[in-house]
Every structure is written in C-alpha cells, then in structure tokens.
Chain A
C-alpha cells in the first residue's frame, strides 16, 4: 500500500501501511544495501517530523525523496557493486541471481528503474508507483515504456 491520501492519519498507521512500498522503491533505486538504509532514514525522519509530514498531501512520496536525499549523500557503491541484490544476505541463492538484468537496470535512469521494478517486479499499479514517486501516472507510463525499451536493448547487446 502506498499512502498518498491527505493524512488525518496517525504515525503508526502510516508507518505500517507505507513502509513496504517505501522500502521497495528505495531498494529499486539504490539496491538492497543502501536502499534499506535510505528507508530507515526516511522512517526515522517521519517519526521525528510527523508534525509536518503527516500534514502533507503525499507523505509516501515525500519520504521517498527524504530517502533519496539521504542515500545520495552516502551512496557510492551501487555502480561498483553492479547489482541491486545485496551480496550479504543469504535469501537468494547465487545461481538464481540474474546478473545481466540487474546490470541492465543500473543503466536506466533512476526513476525509470524504480518505476519498472515497482510495477513489473513488485506488482504495484501504475497509480501506486506514481504516488510513490510523487509524479503523474503519465510520467510513470513514460518511465516504464522507455525503461523497458532500453532494458531490451541493453540485454540484446
């Protein structure tokens, strides 16, 4: 669930509802390692700043940007690491890791990558992805259209 309604919303309800999608979006953008860090940053920010965040039209979208802002300040491994999946958790057997796809995804623009992974990887709707990125649905449509085209091109090379 992506919380995008004006919030007469308690912090606890919001956090429970918004956390999975927020984590997914930031993981898609920065990889598991830094994405989860960024999500932690964003949720910590929400706890502290709920007086402001809770009043916002789209708190999920705002916290996504908080996470992006935080991660951008620190993030410097993703390109070198070359994949979204973390190499430090045992949840995914190595033989099942699609390295080519991840490398191709990393060549997409970040917002294209997030939109493609949220919708085609995680099964979110276009509207949910739009709320998460705080952009119109048409923008998400464009991100996905161009992202998928670029992915196919990269994977064929």
Chain B
C-alpha cells in the first residue's frame, strides 16, 4: 500500500471508517451473541437510554471494566473461579428483588443496585403511544463516592434555589483533576483558598456555568458543585467535612461519609449523604404523547437524582400522589420524588411541566418481574468483568449497606484475561 495519491488515502480512510462502523455495530447490544468474542463481553455497549421517536423496548447491556485493583482473592472468593480463561456465561437475571448483598466479597466488587419499584403508566393517558422500556446503567467506573444536597428553601418550602451538590469522592487531587479537567474543556481550573485550604475550581461549559470546587482531604476529595459556588462559599465557615466510618461490610461501600455542621444562613440539608455505588441500574419506560410529540419518560433509581438536577436549576415543590416531590421547568421538564425507602422516580422529557406532573400522577409502581412482563422488557445482562488486570465480582443488591439476613449473595462469574 505505497500508492499515496490523495485519492488513495481518502479511499483507505473511507474503508477504515466503514470497517470501524461495522465493528461498532457488531459491538452494540443488538448484535447476536455469537458475534461477540470472549473479550467483547467485557462490556457490551450501553444502548440508548430511551427512544422517544421510536419507542421500542431496549435492552441496555452492561458489563464490566478493567480496574487497576490487583487480582486479589478474598475469603469468600473461594466460590469464584479465578483461574480459568474467561468464558461468557449466560447469567439470567433471576435475582429476587429482595436479594441483599452481604459481607465477604472481593475488594474489587462492583455493586449493581436495582430499584425495588418500577413505573407503569395508566392506560387512560390521552394520546400516549404504547410505552417501551428497559434498563439503563447510570454509573460504573466512577470513583466511589458519597453525595448530598444543600439548598435554600423559601419560608414555605415551595421553592429550592442555589442547590449545592456536595460529594466526597475516593481518590487524590490528581485523580480528581484527571476526571474533571477534560470535562471543563478549554477552561483551565484555577486555584482558590476555601476554608483555609487550597482548592481547585473547575468550570464546566453550559448555561448556567457550573463550578466544582475540589478540596483535598487525604485519600478523598471533597467536591462542591453548583452555580457560582465560590460566591456561595465566600464568607462561610467550614460546614462539611469528610469523616471516616468503620466498614460494616465488604460490599464496596466507601469507608467515609459527609458530616455537616452549621450550614450557611438560609441553607437546608435537602438530601442526606447517599452512597453512590460503582454500578447501578435505572429502570425506565417511555412513550410519545401524540398531541405534543414530546417523549415522556419515567425512570426509577436507587439514588436521588435531585442532587444532580437541583445543583443546576431552581426547583419547585410539587405533590405526586400525596408524596412530596420537586419539579423543574428547565432541561426537559422534570419531576422527582421518592417512591419508597430505596427508590426514587423521575419523569422527564415532557413538553411542559404540567404534562410531566400529569404523567407522574398517573404512574403506578409495580415489582420488577411484573414490569418486565408488562412492557416486554428483556432481562438485563450481567456479563463477567474480564479486564486485563482485574478479577471482579458483580453483586446484585437492593441495599448496599444491609447487614442483616437474608444472606443470599449473588456472585456472578469472574474471569481473567492473560
């Protein structure tokens, strides 16, 4: 291939582009399993979360990721084959929704937490097309973190403004920079002194521009994200610290949490510190409203999405079937509320906030098996992690911190790649 006339190079590039597209397609969850090799099971791609234009049941396949953690066995790993070359194994998702992960798994454990209630829409919504749904993975490689939300509430607690997302994230200042700097694009971080400590401030693109203040705290960084964070923190005394906590189990939950003291005047702790697992699944369904064309979607998660939304947008209180919730008329019109102790719901993508509220009020919540049956949703795939230096167990759980019986632990196959 020495003919390097421009047209020839263009032809070769086009050929490569087609080949890359072909492999992209083969990599996607739509591909049959026979087309995937062993290593391709490392992570089938994440399918589109939801499709408003063509509402079809979508399977979101998930898989693992190679981690830097060395392959270390744990006492409980005796049931895990760490020696065989990875073989893709069908792992039907038959875990009962009450399954609780317990102690004794590898430090490299990835938790996949599942909601315990799933949304279904009443048939009487006028103009709605037939819903379709699936699973979406909402995180897996993120460093372990705990996060919470403080904000200003008005006297009647009907509006929430100046939300600050406060996170404790495992990793050094340098690791925080590796994660945040690329997202800040061309905007270089600057340093500031916050509560007597040197902090890095990253500005993300967008409107409004969000700032994240990163304050090193040993092996953890304290991060505060919101609009004009530096202004919000100016003149305040330190009101949050990262505190070590004893590990109650080996579930992968972090050995630290956030502790708050007196908040700045006018601020309220809205979301108490919540553990965000490395892996969590969101269940969703969506449908079109033929009157407005917009696609409505409802999703449930084990973490409270209000933390992300309220740090970017003012929120207004709303009641959904007697439960308190919050709504925003920005970014697709969302309503967020808590369904049960472990499940939060979000309705979004609606044409108007009123429509989002109507959809939210029309929802009923059912168990996962019924939900899958109702919307013909395939089981999520839980392939083994087969990263180059990692032996990782995946544990499906609905309660990462639970330490009581039942003690059923679901450990999926773990493989190695030489």
Contacts and interface: CB of A to CB of B under 8 A. Distances in A.
Contacts of B178: 69, 72-73
B25 interface: yes
Contacts of A49: 308
B172 interface: no
A62 B185 CA distance: 8
Given A43-B49, A62-B206, A85 B20 contact: yes
A28 B26 CA distance: 16
B259 interface: no
A91 B22 contact: yes
B141 interface: yes
A63 to B, nearest CB: 9
Contact of A89 (B26, B137, B205): B26
B326 to A, nearest CB: 11
A86 B27 contact: yes
Contacts of B1: 98, 100-101, 155
B348 interface: yes
A121 B26 contact: no
Contact of B45 (A23, A51, A148): A23
A51 B331 contact: yes
B35 A90 contact: yes
Counting contact residues on chain A (CB < 8 A from B), the size range is 35 or more
Interface string A114-157: 00110011110000000000100000000000001001100110
Interface stretch (B10-18, B153-161, B362-370): B10-18
Nearest to A66: B183
A19 to B, nearest CB: 6
A78 to B, nearest CB: 12
Given A16-B51, A36-B24, A37-B43, A52 B17 contact: no
A117 B295 contact: no
B245 interface: no
Interface stretch (B95-103, B261-269, B309-317, B396-404): B309-317
Contacts, number: 248
Main secondary structure of the interface of A (DSSP, over half): helix
B17 A96 contact: no
Interface residues of B, number: 83
Contact of B13 (A19, A56, A76, A117): A117
A3 interface: no
Interface string B19-57: 111111111000000011111101101101111111000
B17 A50 contact: no
Given A24-B20, A47-B136, 20 more contacts: A10-B297, A12-B52, A15-B49, A15-B50, A33-B39, A50-B348, A51-B305, A51-B312, A55-B207, A56-B207, A62-B205, A69-B182, A74-B67, A85-B23, A88-B36, A97-B19, A98-B1, A101-B13, A121-B14, A156-B4
Interface of A: 6-13, 15-16, 19-20, 23-24, 27-28, 32-33, 36-37, 39-41, 43-58, 61-62, 65-66, 68-70, 72-74, 76-77, 84-86, 88-92, 96-98, 100-102, 105, 116-117, 120-123, 134, 148, 151-152, 155-156
14 contacts: A11-B349, A12-B48, A32-B24, A47-B138, A48-B282, A51-B305, A52-B312, A56-B205, A57-B205, A74-B67, A84-B16, A91-B35, A121-B18, A148-B9
